[in-house]
Amino acid sequence: MSTDDDAIVADLVGVLENLLFRRHDYIAGMRVPMNSHSSQDDLQTKVEQFWDAKPCDSDTSTKKVYSAEYFNDIENQRYRQQSHVMDLLTSLSFAGKRVLEIGSGVGTDARTIINSGGIYTGINVDAGSCEMTRRSLEIFNLPGMVQQVSALNLPYPDDTFDIVYSFGVLHHIPDVDTAVGEIRRVLKPGGRLVIMLYNRRSINYMVEIRHLRKWGVEILGLPRMLGILEKFGLPRAKLQRHRELRESIGRMSEDEWLSRNTDGPDNPYTRVYDARQAVELLSGFSEISQCVRFFDYTHWGLLGRCLPPRMRRVLGNKWGWHRVVEARKSSA
């Protein structure tokens, strides 16, 4: 890319930052309260049921479920669309380390960890994800233990694991502080925690979820609008479900709206974090570092496809949906 192109990209980033974020700085400092209509136990049960019915990434392949082709297809899509995940895993030294993955989904990252020499334990709160991961490891003849366990009560002795890895899970746990305390307990002194949290200061949240999707739901009630939006590449089933929810629930709280617009319209619980909130969450850890990645251009139809790869990377590295946080348990 030429110097002129670099300048154009920089100018666009500056305009977007002024337009989308600086006027909303007060939002980043807000602590998001628990849904008033649900207790933590009720929410936790709903979280378990939701992921049991639809383990993460399980619906991204049309291959025969539980086949090698099915798991390979999911893996190829994940690491192609989210190359930063493979970059992260490659940067970590798993060989000979005891690794706990919280939320293994269909076992994609589990296989990468094991193939990199990690001594693997994976947990999920739901039976469906556990079955997916077990089948995945069996098909590829890989060692590893998979258990249906809650992160709120880990059944492992203190100082057990060298690395705890959890990509996109902690923001779905209502009592996340308890989960983080359990993670710290089972990590060895000097052990490494690597997590991904949804980023509050992202285009996905600040623009798409907080504004564009609200406008979209409002126009869903217009005649023939469902078919029109489907022609733009939006999934009909999700659009229909959002329209049903709008008609049955009406206006949602900001908390519920956020949850229902991440990982599917029936998702019961999600939170987003800015840099300060991530540090507060990991207040018992040291050497905390963060970066943001992943602008999902597929959400933006033709506009997203027309963006050059460099612009997508710039947007992802500045306002990406994934906040990757690394920290260590103090040796003292």
CATH assignment at residue 280: 3.40.50.150
Q: What is the pTM of this model?
A: 0.84
Pairwise CA distance, residues 210 & 204, whole Å: 9
Residue 115 confidence class, pLDDT cut points 50, 70, 90? very high
| 5-14, 174-183, 302-311: the lowest-pLDDT one | 5-14
Q: Is residue 227 part of a domain?
A: no
Q: Is residue 221 part of a domain?
A: no
Q: What percent of the chain has pLDDT over 70?
A: 77
For residue 277, count other CB atoms closer than 10 A to its CB.
19
DSSP-derived secondary structure letter, 150 = -
Q: Is residue 263 part of a domain?
A: no
Q: Which of 54, 57, 61 is nearest to 266 (CA)?
A: 54
| 27-41, 63-77, 265-279: the lowest-pLDDT one | 27-41
User: How does the average pLDDT of the chain come out, rounded?
Assistant: 84
State in Å, rounded, how far the first CA of the chain is from the last one. 48
Q: Is residue 231 part of a domain?
A: no
Q: Is the pLDDT of residue 239 over 70?
A: no
Q: Is residue 115 part of a domain?
A: yes
Q: Is the pLDDT of residue 254 over 90?
A: no
Assigned token pair, 36: 């008033």
> Pick the residue with more confidence: 209 or 40?
209
Q: What pLDDT, on the 0 to 100 scale, is given for residue 298? A: 80
Q: Is residue 246 part of a domain?
A: no
Q: Is residue 2 part of a domain?
A: no
Q: What pLDDT, on the 0 to 100 scale, is given for residue 329? A: 96
Q: What pLDDT, on the 0 to 100 scale, is given for residue 213? A: 74
> Domain span at residue 106?
40-201+270-328
DSSP-derived secondary structure letter, 273 = B
| 65-69, 130-134, 156-160, 263-267: the lowest-pLDDT one | 263-267
Taking only the tens place, the pLDDT of each residue in 285-315 is 999 999 999 998 887 777 778 888 889 899 9
Taking only the tens place, the pLDDT of each residue in 134-170 is 999 999 999 999 999 999 999 999 999 999 999 999 9
Pairing type for strands 145-148 and 187-198 reads unpaired
Give the chain's domain count.
Answer: 1
Q: What pLDDT, on the 0 to 100 scale, is given for residue 303? A: 77
> Pick the residue with more confidence: 10 or 99?
99
Q: Is residue 29 part of a domain?
A: no
Burial class (CB in 10 A: 0-12, 13-18, 19+), 82: buried
Q: What pLDDT, on the 0 to 100 scale, is given for residue 196? A: 98
